[in-house]
Amino acid sequence: MQLIKMGLMDNVRSAIEYNQLRKFTRSRHMENVESPIYSQIALDIAIRISKGEIKEGTRLSGRSILAGEYKVSPETIRRSLRILQDMEIVKVYASSGVKVTSRPNAVGFIERYNIGKDMRSRRNEIVSLLKKREELDVKLTSLIDDVCDLSERFRNISPVHAVEIDVPEGAPIIGRSVTDLRFWQQTRATIVGIKREGKIIISPGPYASFQPHDIVLVIGDKEAPDRVLKLITEG
Extents of the domains making up the chain? 2-120, 161-234
CB 97 within 8 Å of CB 81: no
Task: Give the pLDDT confidence score for residue 186 in this predicted structure.
Answer: 92
Task: Give the pLDDT confidence score for residue 156 in this predicted structure.
Answer: 61
CA 82 to chain centre: 41
Whether 25 shows a pLDDT value over 60: the answer reads: no
pLDDT one-digit tens code per residue, 33-82: 357 889 889 999 999 999 988 898 888 877 767 888 888 898 988 899 99
Task: Give the pLDDT confidence score for residue 154 in this predicted structure.
Answer: 60
Instruction: Let me know if 48 is exposed, middle or buried by CB neighbors in 10 A (0-12, 13-18, 19+).
Output: middle
Task: Give the pLDDT confidence score for residue 173 in this predicted structure.
Answer: 93
Task: Give the pLDDT confidence score for residue 210 in this predicted structure.
Answer: 94
Whether 12 shows a pLDDT value over 80: the answer reads: no
Task: Give the pLDDT confidence score for residue 117 in this predicted structure.
Answer: 78
164, β-bridge pairs: 217
Task: Give the pLDDT confidence score for residue 31 in this predicted structure.
Answer: 38
pLDDT one-digit tens code per residue, 100-157: 999 999 999 988 888 877 787 888 888 888 889 888 888 888 887 777 777 666 666 5
CB 48 within 8 Å of CB 54: yes
Question: Domain 2-120's class?
Answer: mainly alpha
Task: Give the pLDDT confidence score for residue 158 in this predicted structure.
Answer: 57
Task: Give the pLDDT confidence score for residue 153 in this predicted structure.
Answer: 67
CA distances from 174 to 41, 105, 177, 213, 235 (A): 93, 93, 8, 10, 9
**C-beta atoms surrounding 55 within 10 Å:** 9
Whether 17 shows a pLDDT value over 50: the answer reads: no
Task: Give the pLDDT confidence score for residue 185 in this predicted structure.
Answer: 92
Strands 161-166 and 190-196: unpaired
Assign a CATH topology to domain 161-234.
Answer: Alpha-Beta Plaits (3.30.70)
